[in-house]
Amino acid sequence: MNSNFVRMKKGAIIEELEITGISSEGKGVGRVNGQVVFVKETVPGDVVQAKIIGKKKKFLEAYAEEILEKSGERIEPFCEHFGLCGGCKWQHMTYEAQLKYKQSHVEENLRKLSGLDLPEVMPIIGSGRTSFYRNKLEFTFSNFRWLTKEEIASGEDVVRTGLGFHIPKQFNKVIDIQKCHLQADPSNAIRLAVKAFADANDISFYDVKKQEGFLRNLVIRTATTGDLMVILQMYYRDQELIELMLNFLKKEFPQITSLMYVVNEKGNDSFSDLEVELFGGKDHIMEQMGDLKFKIGPKSFYQTNSEQAHELYKVAADFANLKIDELVYDLYTGTGTIANFVARSAKKVVGIEYVEEAIEDAKINSEINGIANTEFFAGDMKDLLANEFINQHGKPDVIITDPPRAGMHPRVTQLLADLRVDRIVYVSCNPATQARDLEVLGQSYDVVKIQPVDMFPQTQHVENVILLQLKD
């Protein structure tokens, strides 16, 4: 290692650093004395003066003190909260560049980590909307919000209540959001009105350290049908305050079709194990995808980019290329979105999912759409999907799998390799774990097609669909 690098300490300045790449976490990548340096909020082609803020065995972490030369792919971020919020880390990059680097990350992960001979990766499918594309956002109340540098420098007294997002990696720090570009109105209007009304009526905001305060969390869910769900979460039950807040919302925003609340006295904001109570409207919203309708409750999972989810599922259905006499297993089926999407092309679809409530939603969604050839089962995938289950329900011709970011459990991956079905369609939100699983699946299958899909513009995240065919 270069001796100059050994003496370089935290706080040291790299006078001129060229950013030559971008990491899968979304940070710019440069090199100094042969050592990798990750610099947040930079773009390949930038030349920056960088300050070291962290030193690890194999790399340095830094931020740009000054941009000396701007990359041709750099643009001005459109959100006033960029750099603090952490929700849209790539706003400073053209959308064309975002797609290029996402495509590159898929290719690099699959080729480096899977160890397989792979076909050419098809061009990534970009999102029609690059802002206001999310159908669900969660906002956190705080009685001691994050102050900007400008607010601190002003020396003026400021309102410390906040309603917005957590500062990255700081669970107790919340940034007050004025306008979020992720979800279409009336999302911003609802959030701002709720905060203003609570402030005006001296209703307390939650203190995560002291575990006190009334207002805790706000969830807004929208649908392409025009349905709108609002869930307000409180730390303790005060029926007078609950009715005050919810009656305000009901009067101010008559377009809300599902107004709900939950009292959560736990140490975290998760309410999957708590009762969600209905205050006004219906206990669900309806989403439309093609000619299918989906019922979404307060705890239901649904892809957060509704329009692009349709494109993703069309790719999965095209890759599956189902015949009317084929049996399909849909693993990690969630609320049965993919299962119901492909059911009319198959003899039968069997869906498996860990979350019992999601399975109940999947059954309801089949019923709503008049689909009678689906069956859904709840259980831990590695335990439920075993030879006994397959003997009972039949060996599938095709498997569609859409696991969480961690990928499939090794036991599940090996079972799929041993099962030797005709085709597997693997939908993934993490190309690295997908590549790991492909290494095992490659024992029995060839990778035939690879199609990245951008579900999350302005971020480094990317979905990827792979078709595997049984080896001859």
Point out the residues that are catalytic. Answer: 429
Burial of 36 (0-12, 13-18, 19+ CB in 10 A): middle
Identify which of 105, 124, 144 has the alpha carbon closest to the alpha carbon of residue 23.
Answer: 105
376 backbone dihedrals φ, ψ, rounded to 5°? -125, 140
φ, ψ at 119 (rounded to 5°): -75, 170
Rounded-to-integer distance, Cα 419 and Cα 422, Å? 9
Distances (CA, A) of 289 to 227, 300, 369, 428: 14, 16, 11, 20
Which residues pair with residue 175 across a beta bridge? Answer: 165
Contacts 24+ apart (CB under 8 A), 2-6: 2/33, 2/34, 2/35, 4/33, 5/32, 5/33, 5/34, 5/35
Which residues does residue 125 pair with via DSSP β-bridges, in sequence order?
453
350: which residues sit within 8 A by CB, 6+ positions away? 327, 328, 329, 330, 374, 375, 376, 377, 393, 396
Q: Please provide the size of the chain in residues.
A: 472
Angle at 75 between CA 74 and CA 76, to 5 degrees: 135
How far is it, in rounded angstroms, from Cα 309 to Cα 374? 21
